[in-house]
Amino acid sequence: MSSRSASDPVAALPYEIGNELVTALRDALDLGVPRVFTDVATWAQTALVFRDTSPAALVRAVDAMRSHVESYVPARHVAAARAILGSARQELEVVRLADTSSIDSSTPHGAVSQRYLDALLEGEEQRGAREVLLAVANGTKIPDVYEQIITPVLYETGRLWQRNEISISQEHVITAAVERMMAQLMDLAPARPHRDLSVVSASLGSSQHQIGARMVADAFALCGWQATYLGSTVPTYDLLDYIDRISVDVLALSATLTRDVIPIRDMIAEMTERAVAPMVIVGGRAFNVHPTLWREIGADGCATTPLMAVALANELVTHCDGA
């Protein structure tokens, strides 16, 4: 351990969590949403507990940030930052263990979801795929597979990593298997007549989380839209150039981490200065956790599921057309 880490409780936190806390504080101030920092701090608390780090270490780090807040934020934000850190400090008095599963295996779809995850964790991807395909054969629609089977698997995977029950490699294996499963499901989907409407789905920012954006693109395609999926870490300037070159009715942007809301906000601000721009629908965990955030960044709507995104887009386009 360096001398700086030994004397600095923030730098002493393992797994770059100190840097995550500093970033979260600046994001909370930038977005005007104090809860952004608290959510990261309480998430980090659980992650540290299950990695043999005392919760007191995190409390000491937050206290140190509060005592030396001017080292982390501009002078004009010092008072607001101290208030954010003080509020988070109070919540950290209670240790959270994230002990509730994201999968409700008592429901039919939840049972499939659990069996699918179990198979993936055991390295039996084909066995897991058969569970999902059997659900489809028994009448489960593909958007419902996404929402009620696959999405809980992804959330539970994140929870298991947070609790140190699986490794990063296992998390990546599950993510890759899910993407292959989604591709297989789309190959099985019946052809739909195309509507004269187009959507581009993407994730901005630095996060590698992209499955949500892919689910949204697939849902639009299943409903007859011309859907383009661009993946994750799309630069804002490049996406602006792309939509200038093609006809786009709706831009669907996903953010799993709150920090990835900032480039979405900045892109919306850029588009408001243009005479013609697509409508923007946002979604993802960042907006689910902070339900009013979409309004504050100027989006046209927010959807919690892929099918809700399609329904919202249909409504917005119809309203725009004056119908």
Q: Is the pLDDT of residue 65 over 70?
A: yes
Residue 100 confidence (pLDDT): 96
Contact indicator for 255, 286 with CB cutoff of 8 Å: yes
* Domain at 108-188, CATH class: mainly alpha
The string of pLDDT tens digits covering residues 189-212 is 987 777 899 999 999 877 778 999
Closest CA to 143 of 322, 262, 305: 305
Task: Say what the pTM is.
Answer: 0.91
Q: Which residues of 250-282 are buried (b: 16+ CB within 10 A; e: fewer)?
A: bbbbbbbbbbbbbbbbebbeebeeeeebbbbbb
The string of pLDDT tens digits covering residues 117-162 is 999 999 999 999 999 999 999 999 999 999 999 999 999 999 999 9
In CATH terms, 198-320 corresponds, of 3.40.50.280, 3.40.50.150, 1.20.1260.60, 2.120.10.80, to 3.40.50.280
Strand partners, 199: 227, 250
How far is the C-alpha of 323 from the C-alpha of 188, rounded, in Å?
Answer: 34
Q: Where in the chain is the domain with CATH 1.10.1240.10?
A: 108-188
Q: Where in the chain is the domain with CATH 3.40.50.280?
A: 198-320
Sign of the torsion angle spanned by Cα atoms 158, 159, 160, 162: positive
Please report which confidence band the pLDDT of residue 1 belongs to, taking 50, 70 and 90 as the band edges.
Answer: very low
Residue 3 confidence (pLDDT): 41
Per-residue pLDDT averaged across 81-109, rounded?
96
Strands (DSSP E) contained in the chain are 198-203, 226-229, 250-254, 279-283, 301-303
Q: Is the pLDDT of residue 321 over 90?
A: no
Q: Is the pLDDT of residue 253 over 70?
A: yes
